[in-house]
Structure 1
Amino acid sequence: MNDLKFILTSDVKESFKLNIGQGSKIRVLREADLRKLLDVPTAIEIIERTYKEYGLNESHTLSNPPALYGGKGGLNDARYKVKGATLFNENVTGIRLISDLPVGLGFESYHLLLVYDDKSAAPLGLLDETWLHRFRTALTGVVACKYLAKSNSKIVALLGAGEIAKQLFPALEANFNFQEIRVVARRYENAKRFCKIIGERITAEMKALENAKVAVKDADIIITLTLADKPVVGPGLLSSGSFLCSMGETEEVEFEVLSEIDRFIVDEFEYATSLGDISQWIKSGSTTRDKVKKKVNGHIGQIIGGLIPGRQNDTERIFAIIQGMAICDLALANYALRKASEEGVGEIISIFNRV
């Protein structure tokens, strides 16, 4: 794919306009449609391009605040979240509507994404974003590893074996020559099941472990994707040259780890203060917003945009909090909608039957 902005023929442009640009008709894309429209290499290229433009500060604006939360607030109650973004270069705005219900050790999740045309304010598409969100989240982690992990990384410690973790492979292995993938889940049986499934996709040895400390020891890349009720990575565990990528919504990394690393990277600081490690560090009184912000060396967009360096040597310990940004969801969704228009994928529905 040479041009990810998707150059449409005049006939397709007219069809795109008639089908989903007049406000009365919207294209609906479900999971099966999105899996057909998006492949890993194209998605990674879109994410890198979007992050680069974000780093150069020329592409977007996020909703203000970056996220809104709703629900009763109880431990077992449904949780709701709204995130939005605008991509200037593509003249689209997206609103993500997310609901999660705690079920057992995980969540029953429903993710919707509405995409709007900024020139007309008309809705263009409605996407079932549940799978796309997992796909995008995993690939943003892959991109972070590409720029911040050692190129000769051999051992991966994966803490968390849920649906997002499954989307890491084989994409992550494509950038490295791994020897071993160590997997830890809340239940050992889940880690073994994950290894069996993913082991059929990749060449590295898959190893299910019960102890996070054992998994992290001497690992080159550590990825945390958990719903842990307490941190899974503490001080004294990171080896020289390791890359730690925290991607969950809870406190996965103890605050004291910050004093042991050489560089600290985020994707979007404001959002990180509302959910995940930084949020919990601030709530617990371990630090303040201003103090932790001073420790941040930059964001992933600045690295991909070439404004600050990525990994500079094989001994740096780098810690990144990569939780995903709505601009990446929107860029992938807009690409999928345009390709769907060309290929006739999805369902066209009428909502606004105005007189």
Structure 2
Amino acid sequence: MSLPFTFLDEATTSTLVTMANVVAVCEAVLVELGLGVARLSEPAAMFLNGEMNIPTLFKVKGGYLPGSGACGFRVVGDVGDDGQDGEHHYCYLVDPVTAKPVALVAQTRLHRMRTAACGLIALKNLVSNERPTVALIGAGRIAAEVVAGFEHVFPGGTLIIASRDPVKAKTMASSFRPKSAEIRAANSAREAVQQADAVLTLTSSPSPVIDPEDFREGMTICGMGEHGELPPALFQTADRFVVDDIGFAKVMGSVASWIRHGEISEEEIDSRSTTKLGEIVARIAPARIDAKQRILAIVQGLAIADLAIAKICVDMAGEAQTAQSMPFGRKR
């Protein structure tokens, strides 16, 4: 007898959840991580090169969230550098008890929403006031989700967008009309940073986009890019260092870039007093200790949250009867 197996395509998943839903799910996932309940795959991520001439890169991460019952793997395929020629994101969900396959969920847009939500949650917990001025460095697809969700997390706040292409930043800023937040563009990253209480970097830049001199007392800088967008001097001058997943930070992003280029050793990273974002969200560790603290956070989105979002999509699609079912395997 065949087992039921659900498939949700992009057209379906993109209509099932809002940014408010995604923020709530990501906060719940971070709490599970902070409490030590969630389980992550070992190693944290696996990579496979496909056709090198294009190039094509595949990434796999796994996890289990007992609280929601979400269990499985997130599989990503990027075509071209940083997926500029195409990207495909899927979650393969399994039953954590029987190990039977449950669903395959397309979530290319959902992963952007999740990444944006995790960055906003980090800032929400680390900024020094409830209505901050935030500089967003980057104007790509994930940055657009940050802009879309900013008002939900920071009503009354101000978001200043900067990009290597000022026109792109202005276009993005003008495309949103929030009711209780201000969104505007800056002519440069430095102009945006110098006006901000907090900074969120979401770039593909292999070199620093922030001047260390602009890391002022009371500021929070949250790096989310996959390369070396933050200078190592930020790590050296920060009063506090926060990460979502230190293991993955050593594989991809600014921390990995520092280690790879010999700017900061892995031993220095390991010996540094580090606070996990999940522990802060779970209220196990304090957030900002005082208003003058300079906080550096490396938050790359926690792919395990994609599994929880995918499971919610499967549940919602089942209730709405919009899921596609197909036979998969056989019962024993």
TM-score over 0.5 for the pair: yes
Query: Residue type matched to 1:256 in 2?
Result: A
Q: How many matched pairs? A: 332
Name the counterpart of 2:41. 63
Which sits farther off after the overlay, 171-180 or 153-162?
171-180
Q: CA deviation at 1:75?
A: 8.2
Secondary structure of the 2:98 match is coil
Provide the C-alpha distance between the structure 2 equivalents of 1:205 and 1:258, rounded to a whole number of angstroms.
Answer: 30
Tell whether 2:66 aligns with 1:88: yes
Moved over 6 A (4+): none
Pick from 252, 256, 260: which aligns with 1:279?
256
Query: Residue type matched to 2:314 in 1?
Result: L
Unaligned runs of 5+ in 2: none
Name the counterpart of 1:50. 29
Secondary structure of the 2:110 match is helix
Which sits farther off after the overlay, 110-119 or 230-239?
230-239
Q: CA deviation at 1:178?
A: 4.7
Tell whether 2:38 aligns with 1:38: no
Aligned pairs (5 A) from 1:171-320: 171-178=149-156, 180-198=158-176, 200-201=177-178, 203-320=180-297
* Native 8 Å contact 2:50 2:58 kept in 1: no
The verdict on how the C-alpha distance between 1:100 and 1:248 changes in structure 2, with shifts beyond 3 A counting, is same
Secondary structure of the 2:213 match is coil
The verdict on how the C-alpha distance between 1:113 and 1:227 changes in structure 2, with shifts beyond 3 A counting, is same
TM-score using structure 1 length: 0.86
Which sits farther off after the overlay, 259-268 or 25-34?
25-34
Q: CA deviation at 1:236?
A: 0.7
Pick from 143, 150, 158: which aligns with 2:136?
158
Which sits farther off after the overlay, 274-283 or 298-307?
298-307
* Native 8 Å contact 1:61 1:85 kept in 2: yes
Provide the C-alpha distance between the structure 2 equivalents of 1:170 and 1:312, rounded to a whole number of angstroms.
Answer: 29
Query: Residue type matched to 1:194 in 2?
Result: M
Which sits farther off after the overlay, 216-225 or 74-83?
74-83
The verdict on how the C-alpha distance between 1:196 and 1:328 changes in structure 2, with shifts beyond 3 A counting, is same
Q: CA deviation at 1:103?
A: 6.5
Q: CA deviation at 1:268?
A: 0.4
* Native 8 Å contact 2:166 2:188 kept in 1: no
The verdict on how the C-alpha distance between 1:113 and 1:289 changes in structure 2, with shifts beyond 3 A counting, is same
Pick from 317, 324, 332: which aligns with 1:347?
324
Query: Residue type matched to 2:300 in 1?
Result: Q
Provide the C-alpha distance between the structure 2 equivalents of 1:75 and 1:221, rounded to a whole number of angstroms.
Answer: 39
Q: CA deviation at 1:351?
A: 3.6
Q: CA deviation at 1:240?
A: 2.1
Residues 135-184 of structure 1 show CA distances to partners (whole Å, capped at 9, x for unaligned) of: 11111111111111122444221111111111113422233355642222
* Native 8 Å contact 1:46 1:331 kept in 2: yes
The verdict on how the C-alpha distance between 1:209 and 1:73 changes in structure 2, with shifts beyond 3 A counting, is farther
Name the counterpart of 1:5. none
Provide the C-alpha distance between the structure 2 equivalents of 1:236 and 1:312, rounded to a whole number of angstroms.
Answer: 22
Tell whether 2:308 aligns with 1:331: yes
Provide the C-alpha distance between the structure 1 equivalents of 2:107 and 2:290, rounded to a whole number of angstroms.
Answer: 38
The verdict on how the C-alpha distance between 1:54 and 1:26 changes in structure 2, with shifts beyond 3 A counting, is same
Q: What root-mean-square deviation, in Å, do the aligned CA atoms of Structure 1 and Structure 2 show?
A: 2.3
Name the counterpart of 1:16. none
Name the counterpart of 1:124. 102
Query: Residue type matched to 2:36 in 1?
Result: N
Provide the C-alpha distance between the structure 2 equivalents of 1:310 and 1:293, rounded to a whole number of angstroms.
Answer: 21
Unaligned runs of 5+ in 1: 1-21
